Every structure is written in C-alpha cells, then in structure tokens.
Structure 1
Amino acid sequence: MAVDDTHAIRRLKHEYCFAIDAGNYEEWAALFTENGRFVRDDGSTFEGADELYEFASERFDAAFDRVAHLVTNPVIDVDGDDATGQWYLFLLFQDDDGNVGWRQAKYNDQYRKVDGAWRIVESEVTYGVRTDD
C-alpha cells in the first residue's frame, strides 16, 4: 500500500466533510466518480452529480441548519487504482428549530483513481453504533 495513496484518500474524505458542511454541494458531488453513489442505510441511493447535488441541496439542507462531520478511525486498503475505506462518523448538528444533537454512523467507501486523482465510487452510511459490516 502506497503511503501517498492512503494520504490522498484521507484528504479526499476530509474534503468531502468540509464541502458538505459548508454547503458547497457542487464541490462535494465533484469528489465522486462520474457515476458515483451515496447510499443511505434506508436503501435510498443517489447516483451521478445531478442526484448527489439534489440530495445535498434539498434533503440535507432540510434536515440540518448547521452541521459538522467528524470522521475517525480510517481503515484504508489500496489495490492499484482501487481502494476501500471504513470510517466512523460523529455528526454534530443544529436543526432549523435550534435543537442541537449528534449522530454516530459508519462509512463503507469504495474509491478509484481517475486521471491521477482519487474519487469516491460509492459511500455507504449506516447510522447507529455498529461494529459489524
């Protein structure tokens, strides 16, 4: 496993967090491959830049007024131009009514190097404290 690839994937996930938290949804969607997918634990799937942008700008904005994604404990495995990653998510939020709270989740991600840059093929999120796959 190349250290540079692992570092680049960590940075990619951090850019993902900063972009969605700041409401930069076009930038967030651009971190995925052309047909990249975001999969929620309720089975809803958003594929491609248009659907990813729509999810973030409509559903995500409807749920939260302010938010901070904190990702930890990455386990990244690189195999050539493909990679997988597991992360824990601690999500801090404030809703439109001023209520604050947090949620815990786990990301299972797939990555691919495209034109020399790592991109997200799929990011699957499962909410709740879980240690199983």
Structure 2
Amino acid sequence: MTERDMIEALLRRVEILEAEAEIRRIQARYMFLCDTPCPEYGVRDDAHRVDLIMELYAEDAVWEGVGEYYDGQFGRAEGHAAIRRHFEGFWGRKQDPSLLLNAHYLTSEQIHVDGDDATGQWIHMQPWLFSDGTALLRSSRLNNAFRRTDGGWRITRTRTENVFVAPLTENFAESFPTTSVLMRP
C-alpha cells in the first residue's frame, strides 16, 4: 500500500467516525428535546421545542410507530409538515393526568455509515410519571435512517417499535424536578 493509499484509507475512516459521532449527537439531541421537563436551555415553550426537533429532520423524512402495539398508537407521518403535526399533537393537547417526567435512556447502539446515508439502531427505555401518582416504564427499539446534506446529517426516518410497557408502583419516584436547572442561564 502506498503512502497516498494509506492517507486516503485513513481519511475515509475518519469521515466514518465523524459521521457516527454526528449521528449519535443528533439522536441523543432528539431524545433530550423529547424529555419532560424539557432540559434544553432557552426553550421558551413547546412550539419552540417542536421547531428545534424539526431542525433535525430532512424535508422528506418519515416518523412511524410500527408493530402490533405502536401501529395504532403512533401511526405514520410522511414529510416535514406531517411530522410537525405529530409533535404538535403530542405537546399541544391537554393530558389528564398531566405528564410530569419523561426521560429517554439510549442503549445497544449500532450505527452503519454508507457514504452520505446511514442507519442506526438503539433500544431505549423511558419512565413516565404522571400527576396522579401513576407511572410506567416503556421500552422501544429504534431503527432510524440519516442522510448527509449541505447542512450536516439529518434524520430521514424515525421508526419505533414497542418492546414493552410496564406499570410501575404508585409514586414510583418520590423526588423529581418540576423544571430542569439546565434551562436557566
């Protein structure tokens, strides 16, 4: 192998590592923005939260819940406008009991980069705590797709499939924040 070939091979490897790192940040940021209370500094309200989430998506992206449990619950949204409506519907409706805490934990990561396209798989867990003291633990498999654009990597597909939903004991968590201190300057 010539020195030039070695340099080109190293450059390709660095590009893949940089792509994986950016995709990892995008997926983690998406989950972070979906947490309740929203921990992102400077987020004024849920409409602003949705704007920030939409910056992560390509114009032609798809968001879908799949499998026997999520097909009817989440459905499929194709394109920026439909995905925006999906998120506006989630945060725009009054819930009773209200959601007090929702935190996403990602694990079992696999990212596969192929030029300007990539896929990523994760398993995520999330506790949900409600104002009436009820709580549940939800786990899903994520099989997402990404594309490199002029503005960087964007999500082209969010596909989530239920692994399980389990009730937690009443008042499962006895101390949790009403707002995130990360939101303060």
TM-score category of the 2 structures, normalised to the smaller one: 0.7 to 0.9
Q: Does 1:39 align with 2:74?
A: no
Find the counterpart in structure 1 of residue 132 from structure 2: 97
The partner residue of 1:56 within 87, 100, 114 is 87
- Mapped to 2, the partners of 1:79 and 1:27 lie a distance apart of 26
Q: How many aligned residue pairs are there?
A: 129
- Mapped to 1, the partners of 2:63 and 2:91 lie a distance apart of 12
Letter in 1 for 2:62: R
Letter in 1 for 2:147: R
Q: What is the CA distance between 1:60 and its match in structure 2?
A: 5.4
Find the counterpart in structure 2 of residue 13 from structure 1: 27
Letter in 1 for 2:148: K
Letter in 2 for 1:33: A
Q: Which runs of 5+ in 2 are unaligned?
A: 1-12, 39-45, 165-185
Q: Does 1:120 align with 2:155?
A: yes
Question: SS where residue 76 of structure 1 aligns?
Answer: strand
Going from structure 1 to structure 2, the CA distance change for 1:96 and 1:46 (only over 3 Å counts) comes to farther
> Which stretch has the larger CA shift, 51-60 or 77-86?
51-60
Q: Which runs of 5+ in 1 are unaligned?
A: none
Question: SS where residue 103 of structure 2 aligns?
Answer: strand
Q: CA RMSD in A?
A: 2.0
Q: Cα deviation per residue 1:14-52 (whole Å; 9 max; x = unaligned)?
A: 110111222411111221100111101206111222222
Find the counterpart in structure 1 of residue 53 from structure 2: 28
Q: Give the structure-2-normalised TM-score.
A: 0.63
Q: Give the structure-1-normalised TM-score.
A: 0.86
Which is richer in strand? 1
Find the counterpart in structure 2 of residue 109 from structure 1: 144
Q: What is the CA distance between 1:9 and its match in structure 2?
A: 0.4
- Mapped to 1, the partners of 2:149 and 2:92 lie a distance apart of 29
